[in-house]
């Protein structure tokens, strides 16, 4: 297995790069999706969230009201830390299991773990390569406002809840510049895929037997 940790700020283009790598043949594991799964009705994490934030964060059908909880936690660092302490361990455990399963299914798989909070959440999977998508803050905010309908203040609050660009690029083996055209992002993703395949081939031919 070749394990890529893919991270980047909100709306920086992680999913766009992950989708391209998936089209090339990578297995894609998405931390945002896992974070939704571990708080489905009936899970211990959802029970812990209700205990911490009250039943006002539930919808009438018993599922989590994500907009309501988002409004609470992205306005207050302490509340966000409480939520993270509930959700992150569950995501860490589930992602570890899924990565192990991908390797068991195909020892030669390239696995992309797409995780917005790689820097913030002490993710310590044994990555072969850490890739960071990097766009200017104004591009992130503009995408959140124009494409996802957030109001500018909420968009800024989400960006501010995350590590800054410098902290992320400091841990990167590869930085993908996602501040330009989509075509420029795609060509960098294609070059990354070619590099990973070449590294895998080199490892394989160095292997005895």
Interacting residues toward ligand ATP by CB under 6 A: 8, 10-16, 32, 116, 143, 147, 178, 180-182, 184-185
Interface with ligand COD, residue 69, by CB under 6 A = yes
14 appears as a binding residue in the annotation: yes
Stretch that binds ligand COD, among 78-86, 130-138, 169-177, 189-197 (CB under 6 A): 78-86
Residue 116 within binding range of ligand COD, rule CB under 6 A:
yes
Cβ-in-10-Å burial (0-12, 13-18, 19+) of 64 comes to buried
Residue 12 assigned as binding residue = yes
Q: Which helix (H) or strand (E) holds 67?
A: helix 66-73
Helix pair angle (14-24, 182-206), 10° resolution? 50
Query: Whose Cβ is closer to ligand ATP: residue 101's or residue 148's?
Result: 148
Token digits of residue 57: 């964060």
Please check if 15 is assigned to a binding site.
yes
Contact partner, 185, from ligand COD, ligand ATP, none, Cβ < 5-8 Å per class: ligand ATP
Contact assessment for residue 192 and residue 176, using Cβ atoms and an 8 Å cutoff: yes
* CB closer to ligand COD out of 91 and 130: 91
The tokens of 139 are what?
């591009």
Closer CB to ligand COD, 142 or 200, in the complex = 142
Ramachandran region, residue 130 (left: φ > 0; alpha: ψ -120 to 50; beta: rest)? beta
Angle between helices 137-148 and 152-160 (to 10 degrees): 130
Q: Which does 57 bind (CB under 5 to 8 A by kind): ligand ATP, ligand COD, none?
A: none
- Residue placing its CB nearer to ligand COD in the complex, 31 or 102: 31
Inter-residue contact 80 to 73 (CB < 8 Å)? yes
Determine how many CB atoms are found less than 10 A away from the CB of residue 103: 16
Please tell me the distance from the alpha carbon of residue 129 to that of residue 173, in angstroms, as a whole number.
Answer: 6
Nearer to ligand COD, 79 or 200 (CB): 79
Which of 43, 79, 84, 200 binds ligand COD (CB under 6 A)? It is: 84
147's contact among ligand COD, ligand ATP, none, with CB below 5 to 8 A by partner kind, is ligand ATP
Which stretches of the chain bind ligand COD, using CB under 6 A? 10, 31-32, 35, 66, 69-70, 73, 80, 83-84, 87, 91, 116-117, 158, 161-162
């Amino acid at each position: 297995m070749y394990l890529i940790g893919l991270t980047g700020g909100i709306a920086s283009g992680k999913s766009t790069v992950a989708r391209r790598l998936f089209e090339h043949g990578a297995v894609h594991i998405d931390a945002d999706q896992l974070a939704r799964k571990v708080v489905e009705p009936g899970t211990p994490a959802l029970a812990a969230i209700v205990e911490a934030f009250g039943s006002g964060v539930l919808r009438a059908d018993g599922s989590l009201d994500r907009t309501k909880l988002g409004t609470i936690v992205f306005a207050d660092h302490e509340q966000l830390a409480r939520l993270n302490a509930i959700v992150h361990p569950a995501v860490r455990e589930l992602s570890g299991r899924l990565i192990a399963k991908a390797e068991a299914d195909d020892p030669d798989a390239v696995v992309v773990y797409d995780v917005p909070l790689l820097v913030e959440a002490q993710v310590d999977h044994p990555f072969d390569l850490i890739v960071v998508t990097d766009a200017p803050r104004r591009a992130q905010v503009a995408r959140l406002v124009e494409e996802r309908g957030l109001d500018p203040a909420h968009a800024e609050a989400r960006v501010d809840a995350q590590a800054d660009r410098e902290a992320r690029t400091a841990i990167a083996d590869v930085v993908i510049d996602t501040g330009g055209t989509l075509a420029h992002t795609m060509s960098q993703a294609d070059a990354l895929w070619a590099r990973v395949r070449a590294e895998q081939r080199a490892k394989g031919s160095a292997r005895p037997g």
